[in-house]
Amino acid sequence: MRTLYLGTFEDTPSFAAEVRSDAAEPEGMAFRPLRSLYDEVDEDLFHLAGKAIQMLAWDDTHQYCGRCGTQTVLSEIERSRKCPNCGLVNYPRLAPAVITAILKDNQILLAHARHFQNNMYGLIAGFVEPGETLEDCVKREIMEEVGIKVNNIRYFGSQQWPFPHSLMVGFLADYESGEITVDGEEIVHADWFEPGNLPVIPANVSIARKIIDWYVENYS
Ligand SMILES: [Zn+2]
């Protein structure tokens, strides 16, 4: 079973270790799905757990060279697995995604996506495609999902999102033109909301929530 060094956490060297699925839980400990920790542990610990799962999954799925099929070797000098036969190097994969708050006067656009649990409303988000800048992606996702044009796109902050290997990059953007027209596939309903009448919004740890909290603080 694999063990990978993750770096230090509060000055203590930390490792990710895989155990057999039938391994007994040590006394006073429990195996838990990562997602269930989301609102229970603090952000630093959640990020470490996310990193552990991503590193183990990457190592597990890059044991053989994708070009020539030779067994790869873990590098001792950087986080990569290298093919000793053809030299192909694989780094841990990260899929950047953008998430954007669209602002119109003192209103924010919130959307209910088909995959959201219960009646939650969140921000427009999506994966960056090859050939796109982050700003291109913001514009494309918003046009595709709710049919409006935005401008004045500015960076808000980012968050690792280990489900399974994303980096969420948060933005604010101003409404430019168009009427809300949901795609009906991913987004089933979207509307403009004001700080005083928000629907159910995402949990505390998410960047979506941080952006919405920022909006409420600044637009109330
Ligand atoms: Zn190879």
89-118: average pLDDT = 94
Give how far Cα 195 sits from Cα of 68, 148, 198, 220, Å.
56, 21, 6, 6
Q: Is the pLDDT of residue 2 over 90?
A: no
> How far is Cα 141 from Cα 126, in angstroms, rounded to an integer?
6
Residue 150: what pLDDT?
98
Rounded to an integer, the average pLDDT of 96-120 is: 95
**Can you list the domains of the chain with their CATH numbers?**
3-90 (3.90.79.20), 95-219 (3.90.79.10)
Q: Which residues of 40-64 are buried (b: 16+ CB within 10 A; e: fewer)?
A: eeeeeebbbbbbbbbbbbbbeebee
pLDDT of residue 153: 98
Distance from the alpha carbon of residue 81 to the mean position of ligand 1, in angstroms: 11
Q: Is 154 helix (H, G, I), strand (E, B) or coil?
A: strand
User: Does the pLDDT at position 177 exceed 80?
Assistant: yes
pLDDT tens-digit series, residues 180-198: 999 999 999 999 999 999 9
Question: In this model, does residue 100 exceed pLDDT 80?
Answer: yes
What mean pLDDT value characterizes the chain?
Answer: 94
Mean pLDDT of 130-137: 97
Residues, CB within 5 angstroms of ligand 1 (ion): 65, 67-68, 70, 83, 85-86, 88
Is residue 21 pLDDT above 80, yes or no? yes
pLDDT, tens digit (0-9, with 9 covering 90-100), for 70-88? 999 999 899 999 999 999 9
pLDDT over threshold 90, residue 35:
no
Dist. CA 101–CA 110, nearest whole Å: 8
- Of the pLDDT bands very low, low, confident and very high (cuts 50, 70, 90), residue 89 is very high
pLDDT digits (tens, 9 = 90+) for 36-54: 887 788 888 988 999 999 9
For residue 80, report the distance from its CA to the centre of ligand 1, in Å: 14
For 29-43, 50-64, 137-151, 186-200, which range has the lowest pLDDT when averaged over its residues? 29-43
pLDDT of residue 86: 98
Mean pLDDT of all residues in 108-116: 94
C-alpha of residue 56 to centroid of ligand 1, in Å: 21
Structure-token match 């918003």, residue found: 142
pLDDT on residue 119: 92
- What does residue 189 show for φ and ψ, rounded to 5 degrees? -155, 140
| Contact (CB, 8 A) for 122 and 110 | yes
Q: In the 8-state DSSP scheme, what is residue 43?
A: H
Q: 86 CA to middle of ligand 1, Å?
A: 4
**Residue position matching structure tokens 């609102």:** 39
Report pTM.
Answer: 0.87
Query: Is the confidence at residue 122, as pLDDT, over 80?
Result: yes
